[in-house]
Amino acid sequence: MVRNTRDRLIEAAGDLFYRTGFQAVGLDQILQAVGITKTAFYKHFESKDDLILAVLERRDREDIANAIKFMRQQGGPDPRGQILALFDLLAQWFAQPDFRGCFFMNAATEFASPNDRFTGRRRRTASTWPARSGCARRRRRGGPGRLDPAIDAGRQWRIAARHAGGVVDAATTGRRTAEALLALAERADAAAV
3-state secondary structure 105-156: HHHHHHCCCCCHHHHHHHHHHHHCHHHHHCCCCCCCCCCCCCCCHHHHHHHH
Residue of higher predicted confidence among 153 and 64:
64
Q: 46, 131 in Cβ contact below 8 A? A: no
Q: How far is CA 15 from the centre of its chain?
A: 15
- pLDDT tens by residue, 76-113: 988 888 888 988 998 898 888 998 888 888 887 787 65
Does residue 139 surpass a pLDDT of 90? no
pLDDT at 171: 77
Instruction: Write down the pLDDT at residue 169.
Output: 78
Residue spans of the domains in the chain: they are 75-192
Q: What pLDDT is attached to residue 143?
A: 42
Would you say the pTM of this structure is higher than 0.85? no
> Region 125-132: what's the mean pLDDT?
49
Q: How confident is the model at residue 173 (pLDDT cuts 50, 70, 90)?
A: confident
Radius of gyration of the chain (CA): 19
Averaged pLDDT of the chain: 78
**Residue 55 pLDDT exceeds 60:** yes
Alpha carbons 96 and 105: distance in angstroms, whole number: 17
pLDDT at 134: 44
Query: What's the pLDDT score for residue 39?
Result: 96
